[in-house]
Amino acid sequence: MRRETPKSIADYTPLFFPAVMLVVFFVVPFSTMIAVSFFKRDPAGFYTPDFVVDNYARFLSAFFGRVLGFSLMLSVIVAICCVAIAFPFTYLLTRRPRAVQTVWLVCLLSVLSLSEVIIGFAWSTLFSRTAGITNLFVWLGVMQEPVALLPGFGAVLTGMVYQALPYTILVLYPALVRLDPTLLEAARTLGASPIHAFFNVVTPALRNTIVATLIMVFVFALGSYLLPQILGRPQHWTLSVLITDQAIYQSNMPFAAAMAVFLVLISLALVGLTLLVGRRENAL
């Protein structure tokens, strides 16, 4: 099929709807946020339109630097864990009969219907001393007495990986299903073991998919603000938690907006950097 270049305005009409959606749901809110981030904070009210950089200046401190660093690190770890678990899982899933795959995918979709609140409370119960899984270990004789597994970094990580895993699998699934089986057959014919073939053929063939999935999970995890509160100690609170505090509890919209803009810029920069590195390596 030959693709023709659009010639008249009418040929562009299919683009209008997505363009309008993008403007209404992304460009307008984001521009508003950027504008508010330069407004002047009025402690006695909300804010007054102005152009000040105080909000950004306040953010540039060692304290917020640490919180930002932690948030980015946490999101990177969540992304890596998710892909490390989801990639082999999805690969094995695509080797199963169609009916088995459907059951698994329906179960995964049902996990998506759980809200962050429910996931948070469920894990806080599972990790609790009074009702948690350690009681099971005690009953099995593995442990002496039940302990609380939260709050802590491990609990936060578990909750966030659990929340992001279904998305990861659903993003990886189409690419793995479409993977040409003859590639593997060729590798096996040439004497590679299944594990060898998986790491040396399947993984490199889907490198771009993996990078794209990592970025998606990273961005997804960056916005999490409830799980770190429910499952973590204050030192595990992400920048998103502090943004919520400023916006909802302190009525300091300009500062909250400035922090949010900063977070978006940093994550865009990281995503851009990843893509750039990827392209260079591909070019080699």
Where in 63-82 is the site for other proteins (CB under 8 A)? 63, 67
Selected from 242, 256, 257, 261, the binder of other proteins by CB under 8 A is: 242
Task: Output 10 or 44, the one with its CB closest to other proteins.
Answer: 44
In sequence order, what are the beta bridge partners of 47? 41
Task: Output 129 or 279, the one with its CB closest to other proteins.
Answer: 129
Selected from 248, 265, 269, 276, the binder of other proteins by CB under 8 A is: 248
- The C-alpha atoms of residue 22 and residue 32 are separated, in whole angstroms, by 14
Torsion, Cα 29 35 40 42, to 10 degrees, reads: -20
151 contributes a contact to other proteins by CB under 8 A: yes
Q: Cβ–Cβ contacts within 10 Å for residue 239, how many?
A: 24
148 contributes a contact to other proteins by CB under 8 A: yes
- The C-alpha atoms of residue 194 and residue 267 are separated, in whole angstroms, by 37
- The C-alpha atoms of residue 142 and residue 130 are separated, in whole angstroms, by 17
Stretch that binds other proteins, among 31-39, 91-99, 248-256, 276-284 (CB under 8 A): 248-256
26 contributes a contact to other proteins by CB under 8 A: no
Stretch that binds other proteins, among 129-137, 154-162, 173-181, 260-268 (CB under 8 A): 129-137
Task: Output 213 or 246, the one with its CB closest to other proteins.
Answer: 246
- The C-alpha atoms of residue 227 and residue 240 are separated, in whole angstroms, by 11
Burial of 90 (0-12, 13-18, 19+ CB in 10 A): buried
Query: Quick one: the chain helix, strand, coil %, rounded to 5?
Result: 75, 0, 25
Q: Smallest distance, Å, CB 210 to other proteins?
A: 33
Which residues of this chain interact with other proteins, rule CB under 8 A? 41, 43-46, 58, 63, 67, 121, 124, 128-131, 148, 151, 229-230, 234-235, 237, 242, 245, 248-252
